[in-house]
Amino acid sequence: MRFAAWTLSAVLFAGTLFAQQDPPQGPRGAGRPAFQELKTYLNLSDTQVANLKAVEIALREAIRPLLQDLAAKRQALRAENEKAAPDQNVITQLKQEIENLLGQIQTQRANYQKQALTYLNADQLSLLDKLSQALQLAPVARAAAALDLITPPEGAGFRMPAAGMRPGVRMRRSPSK
C-alpha cells in the first residue's frame, strides 16, 4: 500500500497543470499528460477527479512556503560553499535546515496522499497497486526496450539507439597512423 500511495503522489504531483486547467489537446507525446487514461484506467468519477484536484491544490498551497524556504536555504548553502573560506558551522546548520524542510515536505505529501486515497474505492486501490508495481518495473522495461526485447508503447518517451548501435556502447576512434 505504501507504493500505491507513492504512485498516487507522483500522479497528483505531476498533475499540477491538470488541477488548474484541462490538459492540452493532441497526442500524449506532444505534451498532453495521460490523465484521461488514468481516469479511464481507475474508472474515476467526475466527483473523484474533482476531489483529487482539490487535494492536489491544497498540497501545493501547503508546501509552497516550504519549497520557497528550501530554495533560499539551498542558495545560501551554494553561496557559503563558494566563499574562499566557507564556515563549516554555517554549512552544517544549512544542511540540517534543508533536511528538516525536506522532511516536512515529505510529511505533508504523505498526509495529503492519505487524504487522496480516501476518495478511491477498493477496486481502484487494487488497480493503483498494479500501477505501483508497473512503476517499479519501468527501469527494467526500458532496458528490455533498448535491447529490442519488447516494443514500448507509442509515445512512451523511449529513445531507441541509432541503427547499428547497442545501448551504452560508444563509438571508438581508430588510432591515428
Q: Where are the domains of the chain?
A: 2-146
Question: For cell 500500500, what's the residue?
Answer: 1
Confidence (pLDDT) at 35: 80
Nearest by Cα to 9 from 109, 125, 87, 136: 109
Q: What is the DSSP letter of 29?
A: G
Confidence (pLDDT) at 25: 44
Does the pTM surpass 0.85? The reply is no
List, for residues 123-163, the tens digit of each pLDDT value: 999 999 999 999 999 999 999 999 999 998 876 665 555 55
Confidence (pLDDT) at 153: 80
CA 36 to chain centre: 18
The 3-state DSSP class for residue 139 equals helix
Q: What are the grid coordinates assigned to 28, written together?
A: 500524449
CA atoms within 13 A on the CB side of 172: 4
End-to-end CA distance of the chain: 62
Q: How many helices (H) and strands (E) does the chain have?
A: 6, 0
Confidence (pLDDT) at 94: 96
Per-residue pLDDT of the chain (177 residues; tens, 9 = 90+): 454 444 445 444 444 434 444 444 444 444 346 688 889 999 999 999 999 999 999 999 999 999 999 999 999 999 999 999 999 999 999 999 999 999 999 999 999 999 999 999 999 999 999 999 999 999 999 999 999 999 988 766 655 555 555 555 444 454 554
Q: Are 12 and 108 in contact (CB under 8 A)?
A: no
Confidence (pLDDT) at 163: 52
Confidence (pLDDT) at 165: 52
Instruction: Report the sign of the C-alpha dihedral through residues 49, 54, 57, 60, in that order.
Output: negative
